[in-house]
Structure 1
Amino acid sequence: MNVIPRNILSALLTVMFVVVSITGIMMYFKIRMLSSEALHIWLGFAFVAISCVHLLKNWNGFITYFKKRSTLVSIFFGFFVITAIIIAPLLNPQEKGINPKSKIIGTMMNAPLSKVAAFVDLDEAMMVKVLADKQIIASSKQSVSEIAKANDKTNDDILNIVFTAPNVPE
């Protein structure tokens, strides 16, 4: 197994470890530049291949590590952590594909007009007046969806008025 000298193998592993680590962090934070995902994937494959060569080349050294109790405890702990990370989402699945924008709008549709008025930085009485100026009868205790239904309007019609209200002359 002397095809690749140990110093070259170690240097290659070090460089690939650094690049795969940095591109992995970039992917986590969604920093997209210079094809970091493709670089991460392909160098990840190369890292695995060279790591296997490294393992074979240093097999006797690894065997002595595995004879130590501290190594076995570390391996057990590592597998425990990995298993917990994999199993936890399976036991307690979270909703997937939630669109935060639609969740915010849905919450706003069901909130009292007084809360929506505060969100757009208007007094609730002013908000009711702005709606009244558009021939929409509303109470600050009603939700946007209730106001829309009572006035035969769409939720979007009401929200459009609500969000443009600060620009409406008094």
Structure 2
Amino acid sequence: MNVFIKKYSTPFITGLFVVSAISGTALFFHWMPGMFHSMHTWLSMVLLLPFVLHVWRNWGQFMLYFRNPSMLVACVVSLAAAAGFMVMTGHAGGNPAQRVFPLLTHAPLGTLAPLFHATPDELATRLTHAGYSVRSTDETLEELATAAGQRPNDVLIRLLPQHAGHRH
């Protein structure tokens, strides 16, 4: 096991770091986020394994870094930067859909229809064609989802345009 760690941990750290750096840069500049988001998230998590194995194998040498004040400064600055982001954006960050979806799924179809460039009856017809039993435009997506044994977000997603720029 020790030979395996010695032989592969640094090459995997390097390769996965390059992937993480490229995908993170693409995400920062909002370039093809659909392609890079999952890659960045998952492969950054995979990067942790060779990193932990590398630190474990080189623990003695790693601890020598802490004799140098620059390591302490780097750690403090890094943690302060992370804390700053958490304080400034932690409560407002995350996926905005997690905050918007409940608002939309609790609204009656008549209220939602203009958002989908449709009349309430057109929206009801779309949902009926999608297999939902719509009795009234006063029903909410949550009510329709519950009756169909589905999640409200799934019903909402079915109403969204399938192609960028496509308008109903």
Larger radius of gyration: 1
TM-score (norm 2): 0.48
